[in-house]
Amino acid sequence: MPFGTDLGGPIRVLHIEDDPGLAVLIRKALERRGHSVVHVRDGTEGLALMASESFDVIALDHTLPGETGLDILARMGSRATRPPVVYVTGSSDARLAVEALKSGADDYVIKDMSAEFFDLLLASLEQALERWRLKRQRVEAEKAIREARDRAEILLNEVNHRVANSLGLVAAMVRMQASVVKDPVAVHALNETQARISAVAGVHRHLYTSSQVGAVEIDQYLAHLIEEMGTSMRGDGADHVIEFVSDRVALATDKAVSLGVIVGELITNAFKYAYGPGTRGTIRVRVERHGADRCRVCVADDGRGFEADHPAQGTGLGSRILIAMARSLEAELVHDRTHHPGTRVVVDFPLDVHAAAARPSES
């Protein structure tokens, strides 16, 4: 049966005691405080009442016919399935009190016939019940928080799933449009747009398949993005190889979107401009942590190279997108020609942007 009344007012006590005279005195003392008491003389009767009626707290005597209160505690079950128990014993041996607490009692009182005993028993019963009520409230609050968090995660995953599907549909429509356009410049522009949409969709697709909320594992996300881009770009006739190596790095979702677009732009540029017609080349992407809170992403090829001060080979939109995305990452975007043939672009950014912004600058 359920136990526990509302969180205030009189309490209902089950008193398991083999001395009927003492039981009457305890009942009168509790009734003077407005509480009600049901008295039984042995543990078997007490356990039967616990199964059929509701009580707020139990006063359990140590010495009972044929057994002890410790035996009854063992038969009562766990604290989660029964009311709190105050153990009553005539022994002043502290070892017995400790054993009772270890066996599941919530408090104990040493029994004598003084007036202080009745006051102490009453206080122990009320305090044991109050502690139990507070614990129950905490457990219920934690359960509600877990359920709310689970609902929020399910909702967020569903939102990310729908966003990813919608972006995938938009990317497919852009690609279909490119297939019927005759102008080569327009075809290139549409294909680049499709790749950028796919990069953003990939973040949301990764989010709804991940156990993390609000963060993206960059190694997994970029591996998936690069595989998709390689398949798409090779379908346009370029048969280059993309090599990808990454440390394990987690990044906030909005930052992951920016990084995905940057990597997508750099890979697209390498496919289009790094190697001559009919030449099969390699494009290398590497992600590595350095220091405590920074990340470095390198996209490199062994092609004909790139001069930053030369006019853009396309519309120039890709360069503007790179600059905008790097700004959102608070990243340094550098074309490194020091020790590398071809083109090597390095993107260096703080993993914790707010912490980096709050850090005093070095003189």
What DSSP designation does 109 have?
E
Nearest by Cα to 194 from 222, 232, 223: 232
Alpha carbon of 2 to those of 36, 47, 57, 103: distances in Å? Answer: 17, 14, 12, 22
219-230 CB burial, b ≥16 within 10 A, e <16: bebbbbbbebbb
Helix (H, G, I), strand (E, B) or coil at 212: coil
345 with 300: CB under 8 angstroms?
yes
The helix-helix angle for 20-31 and 115-180 (nearest 10°) equals 60
Residue spans per domain, the chain: 12-142, 237-363
Question: Which is nearest to 191 in space by CA: 305, 256, 269, 299?
Answer: 269
Say if domain 12-142 classifies as CATH 3.40.50.720: no
pLDDT at residue 38, as a whole number: 94
C-alpha distance across the termini of the chain, in Å: 72
- Reading the block at residue 210, the tokens are 């991940």
CA torsion through residues 328, 329, 330, 336, sign = negative
Alpha helices in the chain (DSSP H): 20-31, 43-52, 69-76, 94-103, 115-180, 184-208, 218-235, 253-269, 317-329, 353-358
Q: Cβ(286)–Cβ(246) under 8 Å?
A: yes
Nearest-Å Rg of the Cα atoms of the chain is: 36
Cα separation, 222 vs 209, in Å, equals 15
For residues 220 and 182, the answer to whether their CB atoms sit within 8 Å is no
pLDDT in tens, the chain (363 residues): 444 444 457 899 999 999 999 999 999 999 998 999 999 999 999 999 999 999 999 999 998 988 999 999 999 988 878 899 999 988 888 888 899 989 889 998 998 878 888 889 999 999 999 988 888 889 899 999 989 888 877 787 787 778 878 888 888 888 888 888 888 888 878 877 877 787 777 767 766 666 666 678 888 888 888 887 777 776 666 678 999 999 998 888 788 888 888 998 898 888 888 888 878 899 999 999 988 889 999 999 988 876 655 555 555 677 888 888 889 888 988 888 776 678 999 999 998 644 333 333 333
Predicted confidence at residue 41, as pLDDT, reads 92
Question: Rounded to whole angstroms, how far apart are CA atoms 314 and 279?
Answer: 20
Question: Considering the entire predicted model, what is its pTM?
Answer: 0.51
* CATH homologous superfamily of 237-363: Histidine kinase-like ATPase, C-terminal domain (3.30.565.10)
pLDDT of residue 346: 93
- Distance set, CA 163 to CA 156, 166, 174 (Å): 10, 5, 16
246 SS3 class: strand
Residue 57 in 3-state DSSP?
Answer: strand
